[in-house]
């Protein structure tokens, strides 16, 4: 057993659990350390799944069948009046972050997942890297996987110049109980992925599993996102400031968002989006928002360390690829380790060669899709993209999907 590769995964969200499950199945000795002490399953929102994600789930030991989520037949674009402007038949399974997290946790040995362990630093040694925790503990491994998200502590230590850049807009999000829907809004919205195209904004929604993974009619939820501009030095700072005047630059917890911002969102919904989506915004208990960022890392490996998921690259959510990319990173890393037995340095180089290129590609692709948010002066190419992605036809055939061409599939 002494020649098993010892791996420490930092971060027990989806990216970390994909890597942990795959490497555990590749006979590595894997431990996961997660900052949050309690179960993470309640966090996050909806996820549109793709074939690549299904492959990664299977490689992680998860059975992919109808219990994964809700099968939707396709997509529609609607105008603010509610009139359908484009429709596209494209069966997809939509699910929730919480459901995927539960499946991946169940596939991984419980005793190897340690909550309440916040990594504060890593110390490279000759053959192993030491991981130090805020609680005074430490752990060593031949390979440390940084799956600690967009604000990665490990990336900040290794590559301090690689930082997320705010894209100039936020994604307001929420989950609404199916039982709260009016009959009319339910009939209009609950069966597919619907985009409401506004002037320089976008509202979208789709059904997902309910609490306790409920898939039966009446027990499900509706997941929605509303992309809205917020200037970095103005509206964004106000949104990030709670009632006590404290600013939360790295993201404000939902319960601290000032009620006046939620009230303004609901008023704007009545004015700007279709009546059915305005109902969704009004009846969702706790809408919250996330600033949209681009993150492009200059490097994703160092001796004995690999960055994966949002720690490595963050593409804007318009291609719905965040989780699939994290899963693809985990697959590529596992493959590189399997095909370079006993040579971790070579394996890490192979991983970086493949995923650095893909990460750059997907960030650029999602940035182009996000051109519908652009305002003010534009180059002719920016104007072309803005106009293209303000059209229902292009949105329903290109959003929430892997790009048609890519240097390497996820």
Ligand X SMILES: Cc1cc2nc3c(=O)[nH]c(=O)nc-3n(C[C@H](O)[C@H](O)[C@H](O)COP(=O)(O)OP(=O)(O)OC[C@H]3O[C@@H](n4cnc5c(N)ncnc54)[C@H](O)[C@@H]3O)c2cc1C
**Burial grade of 246 (CB within 10 A; 0-12, 13-18, 19 or more):** exposed
Residues 271-300 that bind ligand X (CB under 6 A): 290
Q: 300 with 306: CB under 8 angstroms?
A: yes
Q: How far is the CB of 172 from ligand X (least distance, A)?
A: 8
Nearer to ligand X, 82 or 359 (CB): 359
Helix pair 14-25, 97-107: axis angle to 10 deg: 30
Question: Which residue among 205, 207, 287, 322 contacts ligand X (CB under 6 A)?
Answer: 322
Q: From CA 24, how far away is CA 203, in angstroms rounded? A: 40
Residues 146-185 that bind ligand X (CB under 6 A): 147-149, 153, 171, 173
Question: Which residue among 5, 15, 203, 354 contacts ligand X (CB under 6 A)?
Answer: 15
| Tokens 């997809």 belong to residue | 92
Question: Which residue among 14, 20, 23, 30 contacts ligand X (CB under 6 A)?
Answer: 14
324 binds ligand X (CB under 6 A): yes
SS3 call for 118:
coil
The binding track of 218-237 with respect to ligand X, each residue x by CB under 6 A or -, is: -------x------------
Residues 125-144 that bind ligand X (CB under 6 A): none
Region of 31-39, 159-167, 267-275, 346-354 interacting with ligand X (CB under 6 A): 31-39
33 binds ligand X (CB under 6 A): yes
CA distances to 164, 208, 286, 306 from 211, in Å: 32, 10, 15, 34
Q: From CA 256, how far away is CA 240, in angstroms rounded? A: 9
Nearer to ligand X, 191 or 346 (CB): 191
Nearer to ligand X, 13 or 202 (CB): 13
Q: How far is the CB of 203 from ligand X (least distance, A)?
A: 12
CA distances to 58, 110, 221, 226, 287 from 213, in Å: 19, 20, 10, 24, 20
Size of the site for ligand X (CB under 6 A): 35
CA angle, 1 as apex, 19 and 3 as ends, to 5°? Answer: 70
Q: From CA 410, how far away is CA 396, in angstroms rounded? A: 21
Region of 59-67, 319-327, 362-370, 377-385 interacting with ligand X (CB under 6 A): 319-327
215 binds ligand X (CB under 6 A): no
Q: How far is the CB of 369 from ligand X (least distance, A)?
A: 13
Residues 57-116 that bind ligand X (CB under 6 A): none
Tokens describing residue 93: 């399974």
Region of 1-9, 11-19, 179-187, 196-204 interacting with ligand X (CB under 6 A): 11-19
Q: How far is the CB of 50 from ligand X (least distance, A)?
A: 8
Q: CA 28: distance to chain centroid?
A: 26
Nearer to ligand X, 20 or 82 (CB): 20
| Tokens 């939707």 belong to residue | 72
Nearer to ligand X, 33 or 277 (CB): 33
For 246-343, where are the alpha helices, taking DSSP H only? Answer: 259-272, 275-283, 322-339
Q: From CA 274, how far away is CA 80, in angstroms rounded? A: 4
Q: How far is the CB of 389 from ligand X (least distance, A)?
A: 16
Question: Which residue among 56, 143, 326, 366 contacts ligand X (CB under 6 A)?
Answer: 326
Q: From CA 270, how far away is CA 266, in angstroms rounded? A: 7
Nearer to ligand X, 317 or 359 (CB): 317
Nearer to ligand X, 19 or 347 (CB): 19
CA distances to 15, 195, 221 from 332, in Å: 12, 33, 33
SS3 call for 26:
coil
Dihedral sign, CA of 232, 234, 239, 242? positive
Nearer to ligand X, 256 or 378 (CB): 256
Instruction: Kindly list the residues in this chain that would bind ligand X in the complex (CB under 6 A).
Output: 10-16, 33-36, 40, 46-48, 118-119, 147-149, 153, 171, 173, 225, 290, 309-311, 317, 320-324, 326
């Amino acid at each position: 057993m002494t020649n098993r590769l010892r791996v420490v995964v930092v971060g027990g969200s989806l990216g970390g659990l994909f890597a942990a499950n795959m490497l555990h199945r590749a006979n590595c000795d894997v431990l996961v350390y997660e900052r949050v002490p309690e179960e993470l399953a309640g966090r996050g929102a909806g996820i549109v799944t793709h074939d690549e994600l299904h492959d990664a789930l299977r490689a992680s030991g998860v059975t992919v069948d109808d219990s994964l989520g809700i099968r939707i037949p396709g997509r529609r674009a609607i105008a603010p009046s509610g009139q359908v402007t484009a429709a596209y038949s494209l069966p997809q399974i939509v699910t929730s972050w919480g459901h995927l997290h539960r499946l991946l946790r169940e596939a991984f040995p419980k005793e190897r997942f340690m909550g309440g362990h916040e990594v504060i630093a890593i110390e490279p040694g000759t053959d192993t890297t030491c991981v130090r925790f805020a609680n005074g503990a430490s752990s060593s491994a031949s390979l440390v996987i940084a799956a600690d998200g967009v604000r990665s502590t490990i990336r900040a230590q290794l590559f301090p110049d690689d930082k997320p850049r705010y894209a100039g807009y936020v994604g307001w999000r929420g989950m609404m109980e199916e039982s709260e829907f009016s009959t009319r809004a339910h009939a209009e919205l609950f069966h597919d992925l619907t985009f409401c195209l506004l002037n320089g904004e976008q509202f979208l929604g789709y059904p997902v599993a309910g609490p306790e993974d409920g898939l039966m009619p009446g027990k499900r939820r509706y997941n929605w996102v509303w992309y809205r501009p917020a200037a970095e030095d103005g509206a964004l700072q106000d949104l990030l400031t709670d009632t006590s005047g404290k600013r939360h630059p790295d993201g404000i917890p939902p319960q601290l968002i000032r009620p006046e911002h939620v009230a303004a969102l609901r008023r704007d919904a009545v004015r700007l989006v279709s009546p059915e989506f305005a109902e969704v915004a009004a009846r969702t208990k706790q809408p919250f928002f996330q600033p949209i960022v681009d993150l492009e890392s200059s490097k994703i490996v160092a001796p004995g360390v690999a960055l994966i998921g949002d720690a490595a690259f963050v593409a804007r959510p318009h291609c719905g690829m965040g989780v699939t990319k994290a899963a693809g990173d985990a697959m590529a890393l596992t493959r590189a380790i399997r095909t370079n037995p006993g040579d971790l340095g070579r394996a890490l180089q192979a991983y970086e060669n493949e995923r650095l290129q893909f990460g750059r590609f997907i960030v650029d692709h999602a940035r182009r899709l996000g051109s519908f948010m652009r305002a003010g002066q534009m180059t002719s190419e920016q104007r072309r993209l803005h106009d293209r992605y303000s059209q229902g036809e292009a949105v329903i055939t290109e959003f929430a999907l892997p790009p048609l061409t890519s240097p390497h599939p996820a």
